[in-house]
A and B are shown apart, each in its own frame.
Chain A
Amino acid sequence: MNGKKGKIWEENVIIETITRLMVPFIQIYALYVMVGTEGAGGGFQGGVVFAASIVLFTVTFGISKGRKRLPESWNAALNSLGLYLYAGVGLLCIVLSLGAAQYLNYAALPLSQIMSPAHTRALMISDVVEVGIGLTVMSIFASIFFDLAWKGEGKKNKDKNKGDKEVQE
């Protein structure tokens, strides 16, 4: 808020530097929460933490740069990829056991002939199902945030979209 009309946002070295430092650590922490089953957390929590890092980046650097890091095409693909991973594993259990197992019965995968059924379940839960949930939650939250924050629609502001700062008014 510097009093100039139409510009309430400006660069701030401290905020940008801190954000640059924090975003990778937040994302690593999100992956730690998302993958693995030993600690607390899970796909939902990890996905939300990951989306929070994207929101922090966008708030600091502007919506155009944020969209450049997570393009709409990638976002749209990731939206459904997570759900496909989860539902696909369930379907794979039926297909690979030739209809003998139930949907989402991970122990029916042929992987359980190499390791024990319990370990197959643990592997599927920690590395496929939770990651699928996390991908969907992360991209959906980012998508909702970008859709709500985007003000560059309409003909009036169309030319302004090229400039990063004016979009934020």
Chain B
Amino acid sequence: MKPISAMALLFVVFLGALFIYVSEDIPDFGDPYSPANRYVNLHISIDAGADGLEDSLRAGVIPEELSSRIKARGFPSPSETEYSVEEVEGGWDVLIAKEELLYPEPEKYYFLKEEEEGNKLVVYRYSIPVRWEEKCEEEIGVPNMVTAGLADYRGYDTLGETTVIFTAGIAVILLLRRRGKL
């Protein structure tokens, strides 16, 4: 074996070990401390056994107490804008209409979840689009939202994409380059 082959083998083994480490290091889905979490706990809770709370949520109305407590924490209050409530598995989605002319679809904003312990209704906030819009310049210092998402929030994904292109090139080299010399 020529020495250059030994070095190449070493590099390949190192790269393989690196990727095994990466796949072990990816945060668990739903980990609240990972950047890619689904929603953030706002630590606002209300007694789920209150009078008519579930009935009003099923009717699509958020009680004024919850609304005002969300507003007191500095987040946009649902009662001030047009909103709708949808029952999903495990809780209710609060959709708030965006003030946009061309894409007036409502945006997922809050998530009300019933917790078994203590019979509380806890308010979560959907994070990914909101966090990209509001926090990307503060957290990453990049004015371009797409680049921030591509290279930081979805860094693992981009690394995988680059690896796919690399693998495609190596496969073409293996299949077509049969000249007996590099």
- The answer to whether A and B come from one shared complex is yes
Which chain B residues numbered 141 to 182 have a C-beta less than 8 Å away from chain A?
Answer: 141-144, 146-148, 150-152, 155-156, 158-159, 161-163, 165-166, 168-170, 172-173, 176-179, 182
The reply to whether B162 and A83 form a contact with Cβ atoms under 8 Å apart is: yes
The reply to whether A121 and B139 form a contact with Cβ atoms under 8 Å apart is: yes
Q: Please, which residues of chain B bring their CB within 8 A of the CB of A121?
A: 139-142, 152
The reply to whether A80 and B144 form a contact with Cβ atoms under 8 Å apart is: no
The reply to whether B151 and A125 form a contact with Cβ atoms under 8 Å apart is: yes
Closest to B175 in A: A147
Min Cβ gap B171→A in Å is 10
Per-position 1/0 for A78-94, Cβ under 8 A of B: 01101110110011000
Per-position 1/0 for B56-69, Cβ under 8 A of A: 00000000000000
Complex-state Cα separation, A83 to B142, whole angstroms: 22
Complex-state Cα separation, A72 to B80, whole angstroms: 64
With an 8 Å Cβ cutoff, the count of chain A residues facing the other chain is 45
The reply to whether B22 and A37 form a contact with Cβ atoms under 8 Å apart is: no
Which chain A residues numbered 122 to 138 have a C-beta less than 8 Å away from chain B?
Answer: 122, 125-126, 129-130, 132-133, 136-137
The reply to whether B141 and A140 form a contact with Cβ atoms under 8 Å apart is: no
Which chain A residues numbered 65 to 115 have a C-beta less than 8 Å away from chain B?
Answer: 72-73, 76, 79-80, 82-84, 86-87, 90-91, 102-104, 106
Complex-state Cα separation, A37 to B139, whole angstroms: 14
Q: Please, which residues of chain B bring their CB within 8 A of the CB of A1?
A: none
Q: Does B25 contact A (CB under 8 A)?
A: yes
Q: Does A148 contact B (CB under 8 A)?
A: yes
Q: Does A159 contact B (CB under 8 A)?
A: no
The reply to whether B166 and A80 form a contact with Cβ atoms under 8 Å apart is: yes
* CB contact under 8 A between A104 and B156, given known A86-B162, A136-B165: yes
Complex-state Cα separation, A9 to B15, whole angstroms: 43
The reply to whether B163 and A83 form a contact with Cβ atoms under 8 Å apart is: yes
Q: Please, which residues of chain A bring their CB within 8 A of the CB of B151?
A: 42, 125, 129-130
Q: Does B18 contact A (CB under 8 A)?
A: yes
Q: Does A11 contact B (CB under 8 A)?
A: no
Complex-state Cα separation, A165 to B66, whole angstroms: 78
Q: Does B138 contact A (CB under 8 A)?
A: yes
Give the residue of B19, B21, B155, B172 whose beta carbon is less than 8 angstroms from that of A143. B172
Known: A87-B22, A103-B22, A118-B138. 9 other contacts (CB 8 A): A83-B15, A86-B158, A90-B159, A118-B140, A121-B139, A133-B158, A140-B165, A140-B168, A144-B169
Which residues from chain A sit less than 8 Å from chain B, CB to CB? 37-40, 42-44, 72-73, 76, 79-80, 82-84, 86-87, 90-91, 102-104, 106, 116, 118-119, 121-122, 125-126, 129-130, 132-133, 136-137, 139-141, 143-144, 147-148, 150, 153
Chain A to chain B: the 7 pairs with minimum beta-carbon distance, closest first: A140-B169, A118-B141, A122-B141, A104-B155, A125-B151, A147-B176, A37-B142
